[in-house]
Amino acid sequence: MSMAGPKRVAVLRLLWAPGPPVADESPQLQWSDEFFHEVFQASNGWSLRDYWLRASFGLLQLEFDFSVAHWWRFGDHSHAELKDNRNGILAAARQVVEGDNGVSLAGFDAVIAFVHAPPSNAGACGGGAVFDQGGSMAFFQHELGHVLGFEHSFGPLIPPPDEFGSLYNDPYCVMGYTGLQSHALPVPPAFASLTNINSGFWTSERRPAAASLYRRFTGTPDFVDSGWVTHAEPGARLWVAALSEVVTTAPVLAVLPLSIGHSQLTIEYRTQSADDAGVAPGVVIHSIGAHDVGVGRSEVDPPWFETVLPPVVGASADVLGVHLEVVTVSTGSPGGIEVQTSTQSTRTHIFNEGDQEGVSHTRLGRTSAPLPVTPVGVVADGAPHTHLGAGPRRLQ
């Protein structure tokens, strides 16, 4: 069954129950209805709806409904009681609407509890998400990705003392770290005087990797077997268009089978344009199903960033037994690259803790392109997540 089409999302705007002041609370006047509409739904080029519509090539159409709860009170639930309990906040929001007021939410695909005032443990959770005014556009983009069914992306192991290892370490996907390759949004004149709690509010993330789109739509008739994707065997010479430059259907992802189980290697081309305005241009290589996410993680065969090649003729790398070499770089419209692939007869295996036996993490002959380091000021999964800052952060 197709997973594309409109996704109806109820945005429930709720205020905490009256009570004594809380030391870490940051009270602000609520955003206006006009600002909510522009941030979430408007056809303005930068709204959350527009971002995900572009990023999914029109497959994911968000429809936000703000009519259900317009700054209703949480009943007896105070900020101090629930602010750190994300699932509890969403459950309490549903109770206020459905249980206390008899308004059904059955017609919606997801529910967002937008609570005021910050801070709260904001982010996605089962059936929706919790947001507040301490977020940024980049934060909302990432968390809505989860609401739309995207998993976290992974990447090369960051060794201890980093406690999260490979989680989020994908500089070319919105579902990895946020803030690494983001870019500033022009502030609309109508909102130039608006004071946001998060000084980095007007930032937008890179697109989801084409590999993430592929994994998200695997098992559906959408994207995977479309004109956006080329399937080939190692040995093929493959052309892919720049992901953020295409305006009509063209291959933006090449997928090759690997000898490791049912795993795959993917190739995409990223340029510094449109939603990718903040990225370092490169030929980006991911794997799917070649690595174990480790104990305690729920992701299943998530996209895994392997390496990036500079977009210059002759750049090459050996990744999981496949040799890749850039043979053509096109600067047309859209831009594109050709990559010659071949199978390697020998492979070196380096195992990270938690990997399945027989899975190689080695990127033989890697280019000198730097990998991202652990961002500062991040918050571990399950910990209170106040998102009240502008720097790179770990999202949930």
Helix 48-55 crosses helix 33-40 at what angle (to 10 degrees)? 10
Query: Using one digit for the tens of pLDDT, what is the confidence trace for 108-144?
Result: 999 999 999 999 999 999 999 999 999 999 999 999 9
Rg over alpha carbons for the chain, rounded to the nearest Å, is 22
The pLDDT-based confidence of 158 (bands split at 50, 70, 90) is: confident
Distance (Å, whole) CA 41 – CA 32 = 14
DSSP string, 222-251: SSTTSTTEEE--TT-EEEEEBTTT-SS---
The pLDDT-based confidence of 19 (bands split at 50, 70, 90) is: low
Distance (Å, whole) CA 259 – CA 212 = 21
Residue 35 has pLDDT above 70, yes or no: yes
Query: Which parts of the chain are beta strand (E)?
Result: 5-15, 60-65, 70-73, 110-116, 123-125, 128-131, 183-184, 203-204, 229-231, 237-241, 253-257, 264-270, 282-288, 303-309, 316-319, 322-330, 336-343, 363-364
Residue 183 has pLDDT above 50, yes or no: yes
CB neighbour burial string for 242-269, b if at least 16 within 10 angstroms, e if fewer: bbbbbeeebbbbbbbebebeebbbbbbb
* Contacting residues for 63 by C-beta, under 8 A, at least 6 apart: 6, 7, 8, 9, 41, 49
State the architecture of 5-149+174-204 in CATH terms. Answer: 3-Layer(aba) Sandwich (3.40)
Of the two residues 1 and 181, the one the predictor is more confident about is 181
Query: Using one digit for the tens of pLDDT, what is the confidence trace for 284-304?
Result: 999 999 999 988 899 999 999
* C-alpha of 182 from chain center: 12
Mean pLDDT computed over 362-375:
34
- Which residue has 């850039």 as its token pair? 326
Residue 350 has pLDDT above 70, yes or no: no
Highest mean pLDDT among 20-34, 203-217, 342-356, 376-390: 203-217
The candidate with the shortest Cα–Cα distance to 194, out of 26, 28, 42, is 28
**What does the pLDDT read at residue 377?**
28
The pLDDT-based confidence of 271 (bands split at 50, 70, 90) is: very high
The pLDDT-based confidence of 346 (bands split at 50, 70, 90) is: very low
Of the two residues 147 and 394, the one the predictor is more confident about is 147
Contact 244, 334 (CB under 8 A): no
Domain 210-364 maps to which CATH number in 3.50.4, 3.60.21, 2.60.98, 1.10.1060? 2.60.98
Distance (Å, whole) CA 223 – CA 250 = 11
DSSP string, 54-80: HHTTTSEEEEEE--S-EEEE-TT--HH
All structural domains of the chain with their residue ranges: 5-149+174-204, 210-364
Tell me whether domains 5-149+174-204 and 210-364 share a fold: no
Residue type, 117: A
3-state secondary structure of 380: coil
Distance (Å, whole) CA 152 – CA 155 = 10
**What does the pLDDT read at residue 224?**
96
Of the two residues 388 and 290, the one the predictor is more confident about is 290
The pLDDT-based confidence of 233 (bands split at 50, 70, 90) is: very high
Contact 82, 19 (CB under 8 A): no
